[in-house]
Structure 1
């Protein structure tokens, strides 16, 4: 099974440099809306059969153009929702940089628990569990490989990628996931393989082979080794 992990486009919180978290009403900016349309153009030619999304507005707005093109109804999954940052929600990033917990988040993420919110380890457990559960459900229903997409948030996607890479959660800040970027993970009987991460513009035509009627031997896909690693200029997470 192959999942495309899509981060939402640039949001109003990104440009305001605040920690959006689960605050309601955080919209895409004009740039974010343009990114959502561009993503739809890039992915609409692929045989995507299922879309799962965080229920937050910025993710819903991001997947809407693609869902329209594919004729799919996105499935809102609470397990893909942003980290519950608790008392940190809505606060300026510049202010949070002075908090002692910020250094814990950067260097010992597995031990970070946000005041009044959840821990990053708890978030990773639910996010990876969601991907594995959806994978299992789609596989059982189709009886074959399925290419599908999950739209979520920066820290959520980074935690899924860290798990797929065999990287301890304490190192997940080494992974860059820009707004509207895609990452691709192929789950095989031998374990997961990361084909792309933080990709914001590479040709994805090779992914059309990611949903064959039978598994490709060894889980290999031609042309799947490229990655476009940009700088994370817009963030809504620590």
Structure 2
């Protein structure tokens, strides 16, 4: 019997931006990284990934993710096929983009959105079900290209909301519970059980200092 396949997804959030510092909802606004402030986090992430070999790279097409990717794989840009994919964009926050919690907290529609864990879309924006549909389509395309008996490793550079949704799906936690800070992420490991790919583990990227020998 052929050995079971293995797939690793190394999913990382882009580096820090000015709107992150100001705690503004960015959504699908094309906000660049805040440089040089973003560099310490990006350098730490590059150090974590510098010895890892990937079969493919998938990246949101927004500037902050493109810049993050360029930094963390600098010198290895041509090593693996790279796919820039709008399906990996942040949740569309609609009318809330560019605004802060303090500006919105007294609005009833905003409270409904928060309390519903995003199931109720913000005005002019996406619900988490909308986000889930495009990520499901992306993930299906990804695994369709993976042999059920091979070993695969893919780097994914995306956004906080995308990472939250992947954690909700593969770790079984609440959407708002799955946040990661900028220039950090998760490593998901999948095993092919003969019928499909099943997530077997999830861990932090970079590895927390307290977890290293």
In the alignment, the residues of structure 2 paired with residue 177 and residue 21 of structure 1 have an alpha-carbon distance, to the nearest angstrom, of 16
In the alignment, the residues of structure 1 paired with residue 38 and residue 201 of structure 2 have an alpha-carbon distance, to the nearest angstrom, of 25
Describe the SS at the equivalent of 2:15.
coil
2:32 is the counterpart of 1:26: yes
In the alignment, the residues of structure 2 paired with residue 6 and residue 128 of structure 1 have an alpha-carbon distance, to the nearest angstrom, of 18
| Moved >6 Å (runs of 4+) | none
Decide whether aligned partners of structure 1 residues 77 and 40 sit closer, same or farther in structure 2, where only a CA change above 3 A counts.
Answer: same
2:92 is the counterpart of 1:89: no
Any residues of structure 2 matched to 1:27-106 within 5 Å, and which?
27-70=33-76, 71-72=79-80, 74-106=82-114
Name whichever of 151-160 and 90-99 sits farther off: 90-99
**Alpha-carbon deviation of 1:90?**
1.1
Any residues of structure 2 matched to 1:174-185 within 5 Å, and which?
174-185=177-188
Name whichever of 115-124 and 18-27 sits farther off: 18-27
2:103 is the counterpart of 1:114: no
Paired position in structure 2 for 1:165: 171
**Alpha-carbon deviation of 1:110?**
5.1
Paired position in structure 1 for 2:10: 4
Paired position in structure 1 for 2:200: 193
Describe the SS at the equivalent of 1:30.
coil
In the alignment, the residues of structure 2 paired with residue 22 and residue 176 of structure 1 have an alpha-carbon distance, to the nearest angstrom, of 18
Decide whether aligned partners of structure 1 residues 186 and 101 sit closer, same or farther in structure 2, where only a CA change above 3 A counts.
Answer: farther
Decide whether aligned partners of structure 1 residues 110 and 11 sit closer, same or farther in structure 2, where only a CA change above 3 A counts.
Answer: closer
**Alpha-carbon deviation of 1:31?**
2.5
Contact 1:186 1:193 in 2 (8 A): yes
In the alignment, the residues of structure 1 paired with residue 62 and residue 200 of structure 2 have an alpha-carbon distance, to the nearest angstrom, of 28
Q: How many residues align?
A: 199
The CA RMSD measured in Å over matched residues stands at: 2.3
Calculate the TM-score normalised by the size of structure 2: 0.83
Cα shift readout 1:167-187 (whole Å, capped 9, x = no counterpart): 4xxx21122311111201112
Structure holding more helix per residue: 1
Higher relative contact order (CA 8 A, sep 6+): 2
In the alignment, the residues of structure 1 paired with residue 167 and residue 140 of structure 2 have an alpha-carbon distance, to the nearest angstrom, of 13
